[in-house]
Amino acid sequence: DRMSNLGSGLVKQEWDFSKLHKFEKNFYREHPNVVSRSMIEVEEYRKFHDMKVFGRDIPKPVETFEEANFPAYVLKEVLDLGFKAPTPIQSQGWPMALSGRDVVGIAETGSGKTLAYCLPAIVHINAQPFLEPGDGPIVLILAPTRELAVQIQQECTKFGKSSKIKNTCVYGGVPKGPQSRELSQGVEICIATPGRLIDMLESRRTNLRRVTYLVLDEADRMLDMGFEPQIRKIVDQIRPDRQTLMWSATWPKEVKKLAEDYLHDFIQVNIGSLDLSASHNITQIVEVCAEYEKRAKLVKHLERIMDQKDNKTLIFTGTKRTADEITKYLRQDGWPALAIHGDKAQSERDWVLSEFRSGKSPIMVATDVASRGIGMIY
């Protein structure tokens, strides 16, 4: 089985701390407004945003972008994009990440967690020595799927512009050549799915000796997909005094064990409930019907939805075959539907997502390949 052999060529590193260069990871300076905020006010803010924190010496949350005390070049890019205020995971996650601590963040998809680790990553990179020829990345972000990896890359590109920070996205299903070239030319940020990254490490296309800021995004999903052995192989290639940030929608015992094994004295923020309850921002309507009634009911709902301005409809199916069948059925009936699933070429999946985002094709039929990271589609 190829999956179980993946990474067999990687040897766990032994680290001699006397030979490792020192690096800075604490960049947080509390804003005067935050300093003057009482713990009673802080607790009220956390309670209002359904926020729970665990660990020692946890910094207070920030309530505005200015209070995060980002360098001017980061703050300008955030404000230029029209963001009004931090989301709860950002308001607590930024001070945690900027202070150099290991962090666990539990929040549902679409909560703004990508920026919670992306902006501190840019600050971290700018404080490190420049890359030398042959150096691997400074920031490594592991993600479960290509779709999520590409979405993370878009955010990193947006905010790394003024610092001329280079990034690359490394995932399977496409030729290795272009990814190899970008890695060998030197990138500060590497966003990767575990399997393809291990390929690159085993073929010596890159190395993780310079990584001092590690992000595990959607850790629960990566473990669900069977990536735990690969994650462990990868993390064992990274210096142990790095800063590690782990993000997850849920907090099952497997994710907890991974955190306990690889994070040191971590601080944790949970937004909302830890169980798998549905998002409070979504109205859910369940209709029970016979199999033969499904398609007629679907069309009835589409007729209602398509009358609304700027409508978009996402239809999930259990199998790739069903996704194709429903898409064909809808298109024959004149509906602007496109399908996305794991058998489609990456270029086609990117095109379908782009058509859906722009509203050119407002109906997307998908298997669970699109079920995570969907909060970033709009």
* Strand, helix or coil for residue 360: coil
The answer for 272, left when phi > 0, alpha when psi is -120 to 50, beta otherwise, is left
Q: What is the pLDDT of residues 267-312, one digit of tens each?
A: 999 998 765 544 556 777 888 888 878 888 888 888 888 777 778 8
Domains assigned to the chain? 32-271 (3.40.50.300), 291-370 (3.40.50.300)
Q: What is the pLDDT of residue 213?
A: 97
Does pLDDT of 2 surpass 70?
no
Does pLDDT of 18 surpass 80?
no
Is 105:93 a contact under the CB 8 Å cutoff? yes
Q: What is the pLDDT of residue 161?
A: 75
Query: What is the arithmetic mean of pLDDT over 207-213?
Result: 94
Which pLDDT band, with edges at 50, 70 and 90, does 124 fall under? very high
Identify the DSSP state of 292.
G
Instruction: Write the CB contacts of 98 (distance below 8 Å, at least 6 apart in sequence).
Output: 26, 27, 28, 68, 69, 120, 123
Higher pLDDT, 275 or 42: 42
Query: What is the arithmetic mean of pLDDT over 359-366?
Result: 88
Does pLDDT of 370 surpass 50?
yes
Q: What is the pLDDT of residue 275?
A: 59
Measured between alpha carbons, how far is 119 from 127 in angstroms, rounded to an integer? 13
Partner residues linked to 215 by β-bridges? 141, 245
Does pLDDT of 185 surpass 80?
yes
Q: What is the mean pLDDT of the chain?
A: 87
Q: Is 122 exposed, middle or buried (0-12, 13-18, 19+ CB in 10 A)?
A: buried
Measured between alpha carbons, how far is 161 from 184 in angstroms, rounded to an integer? 20
Measured between alpha carbons, how far is 70 from 66 in angstroms, rounded to an integer? 7
Measured between alpha carbons, how far is 257 from 252 in angstroms, rounded to an integer? 9
pTM over 0.85: no
Which pLDDT band, with edges at 50, 70 and 90, does 160 fall under? confident
Q: What is the pLDDT of residue 378?
A: 36
Q: What is the pLDDT of residue 274?
A: 65
Binning the chain into helix, strand and coil, the percentages to the nearest 5 are 45, 10, 45
* Strand, helix or coil for residue 104: strand
Higher pLDDT, 374 or 233: 233
Q: What is the pLDDT of residues 233-263, one digit of tens each?
A: 999 999 999 999 999 998 989 999 999 999 9
Max alpha carbon distance in the chain (Å)? Answer: 70
DSSP string, 149-207: HHHHHHHHHHHHTTTT--EEEE-SSS-SHHHHHHHHH--SEEEE-HHHHHHHHHTTS--
Q: What is the pLDDT of residue 159?
A: 80
Which pLDDT band, with edges at 50, 70 and 90, does 1 fall under? very low
Q: What is the pLDDT of residue 350?
A: 83
Percentage of the chain beyond pLDDT 70 is: 93
- Give the count of alpha carbons within 13 A of 360, CB side only: 7
**Quick one: tokens of 344?**
């489609």
Q: What is the pLDDT of residues 46-89, one digit of tens each?
A: 999 999 999 999 999 999 999 998 888 888 888 888 788 899 99
Measured between alpha carbons, how far is 378 from 358 in angstroms, rounded to an integer? 8
Q: What is the 3-state secondary structure (H, E, C) of 225-268?
A: CCCHHHHHHHHCCCCCCCEEEEEECCCCHHHHHHHHHHCCCCEE
